Every structure is written in structure tokens, then in C-alpha cells.
Copies of this chain bind each other. A is one copy, B any other.
Amino acid sequence: MTALYVSLSRLRVPDERAPDLVRAFRRRARLVEEAEGFVDLQVWQADKDPGEFIMVSRWRDREAFKAYMKSERHRISHARIDPDLDRVIRLERLEHLHTYEVVAE
């Protein structure tokens, strides 16, 4: 068993802005990769609802996640998002979970 801290955010944009959000994620600064305790990040787009995204980040523990959220690194990453796009991104749900089992990775 690997115990990790998981942050799962559900984001929504108007369908016509979905390609812009995908592009923004692909061009992201990747500053989070250097953060203490960062494990990995994935972004998923809903199969039948292109405006719905789930962003999952995994961390060594809750403290590592909280420290990153307060960091300059996080501020810079967020500031790079096009303001026009940022304005239409809705955070629909935010969940914090513990991983109970990670297998076959």
C-alpha cells in the first residue's frame, strides 16, 4: 500500500473554450513538478461532455499540498493563465482524498 494525498478538482468551461483549456494545460509552466512532495498530475476531459475536466494531483501528504498552494510557484503558475480563459473556468467541486492503494504503476 502506498498512502498518498490526492486533490481532485472538477472544472467546467463553456464547450467552445475546451480546446483553449487543453492547450493551456499542455503549455503549463510545469513548476509544480519541482515542488516538495509532489508526486504527479493528470488532467482528464470528460468523454461525453467536452467542457468538463478533472484535474488530479497527488502528493506525499496533506502538508506538501498545502505548502504548494501557498507558494510563489503556485502563484506564478496560476498567473500564466490567459485572463479571458481564467474568467470562464468554474471550479465545480474540490475533493481531497487519501489514496489507499496504488498498484501496477
Query: In the complex, what residue of chain B is closest to A8 when comparing beta carbons?
Result: B54
Q: Are A99 and B42 in contact (CB under 8 A)?
A: yes
- A79 located at the interface, meaning its Cβ lies under 8 Å from any Cβ of chain B in the complex: no
Stretch at the interface among A22-30, A70-78, A81-89: A22-30
A interface: dominant SS: strand
Residues of A within 8 Å of B, CB-based: how many? 34
Question: Of B40, B42, B98, which contacts A45 at CB under 8 A?
Answer: B98
Residues of B with C-beta under 8 A to A22: 100-101
A contact residues vs B (CB 8 Å cutoff): 1, 5-6, 8, 22, 25-26, 30, 33, 38-48, 53-54, 62, 95-105
